[in-house]
């Protein structure tokens, strides 16, 4: 499960970074009425990737309990990632709109026109 969380977290992070770039592929997510769901693309997906990576680090730390310094290092690094990621994922799922400061520049400029 640790490797699954790491792998899926890295794939989500790559997808989130790809959507933030101004490329034809990232613009393909748009329909005639605008973004399919900006909360998913720009808030939930990056936060979910962060949560998975954080939980993977905490889990890897739990597997290395025989080496105390490695356990504490991975736990201290992973817990903030997991907490912030889970909070962002919940806001991305249940929030009304994505905060403007989280939207990429190309998307904000396009919405003005």
Q: What is the pLDDT along the chain (113 residues), one digit of tens a residue?
A: 778 888 888 888 888 888 778 777 777 776 555 556 778 888 888 899 999 999 988 988 888 889 999 999 999 999 999 999 999 999 888 888 878 888 888 777 776 66
Sequence length of the chain is: 113
Predicted pLDDT of residue 16: 82
Chain centroid to CA 2: 17
Predicted pLDDT of residue 30: 65
> How far, in Å, CA of 58 to CA of 53, rounded?
9
Rounded to whole angstroms, what are the CA distances from 89 to 17, 40, 42, 76, 85?
A: 16, 9, 10, 20, 6
Angle at 110 between CA 90 and CA 10, to 5 degrees: 40
* Structural domain containing residue 60: 2-112
Token pair in block for residue 12: 């989500």
Predicted pLDDT of residue 70: 93
Q: Number of structural domains, the chain?
A: 1
């Amino acid at each position: 499960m640790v490797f699954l969380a790491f792998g899926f977290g890295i794939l989500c992070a790559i997808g989130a970074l790809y959507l933030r770039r101004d490329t034809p592929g990232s613009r393909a997510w748009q329909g005639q009425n605008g973004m399919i769901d900006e909360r998913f693309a720009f808030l939930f997906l990056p936060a979910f990737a962060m949560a998975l990576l954080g939980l993977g680090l905490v889990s890897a730390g739990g597997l290395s309990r025989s080496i105390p310094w490695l356990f504490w290092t991975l736990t201290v690094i992973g817990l903030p990632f997991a907490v912030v990621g889970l909070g962002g994922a919940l806001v991305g799922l249940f929030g009304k709109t994505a905060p403007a400061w989280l939207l990429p520049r190309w998307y904000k400029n396009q919405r003005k026109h």
